[in-house]
């Protein structure tokens, strides 16, 4: 698990994916993440699952399974439904869209997702202030 040392607040115009009211946290180097694999990180006291989906893209969601409350989502199975990148919970196999957090296998609760981006080879995750 990676520990965050210092959060950084980024002006809204500093990033193409900037989200108002978000504090950006430098989590790790992109090379610390294996492609098509999840990794857990503690970001400002919050457990986050990071997924490196290709050579330059990282997606982030809560590490906590929304149905059970167990911190296991980084161990979920990455996949896709159409053009959506998905993760299946390792416990009950609910499938979530990593862009929206919606449960795609029924009426399950949504998985909270977080903005993430790669800048200068570093993975940054945005959490609400």
pLDDT given for residue 19 in this prediction = 65
Residue-level pLDDT, tens digit, the chain, 129 residues: 333 323 333 333 344 345 678 999 999 999 999 999 999 999 999 999 999 999 999 999 999 999 999 999 999 999 999 999 999 999 999 999 999 999 999 899 999 999 999 999 999 999 998
Q: How far apart are CA 75 and CA 91, in angstroms?
A: 10
- DSSP for the chain reads -EE---EEE--GGG-TT--TTEEEEEEEEGGGSPBTEEEEEEETTEEEEEEE-SSS-EEEEESB-TTT--B-GGGSEEEEETTEEEEE-TTT--EEETTT--BSSSSPPPPPEE-EEEETTEEEEEEE-
Distance of CA 52 to the CA centre of its chain: 9
SS3 content of the chain, % helix, strand, coil (to 5): 5, 50, 45
CA distances from 104 to 27, 40, 72, 87 (A): 28, 22, 18, 10
pLDDT given for residue 69 in this prediction = 97
pTM value is 0.84
């Amino acid at each position: 698990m990676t520990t965050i040392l210092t959060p950084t607040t980024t002006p809204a115009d500093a990033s193409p994916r900037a989200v108002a009211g978000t504090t950006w946290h430098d989590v790790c180097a992109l090379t610390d993440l294996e492609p098509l694999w999840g990794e857990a990180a503690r970001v400002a006291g919050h457990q986050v699952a990071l997924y490196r989906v290709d050579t330059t893209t990282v997606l982030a969601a809560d590490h906590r399974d929304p149905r059970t409350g167990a911190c296991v989502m980084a161990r979920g199975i990455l996949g896709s439904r159409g053009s959506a990148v998905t993760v299946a919970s390792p416990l009950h196999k609910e499938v979530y869209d990593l862009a929206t957090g919606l449960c795609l296998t029924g009426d399950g609760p949504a998985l909270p997702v977080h903005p993430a981006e790669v800048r200068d080879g570093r993975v940054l995750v945005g959490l609400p202030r």
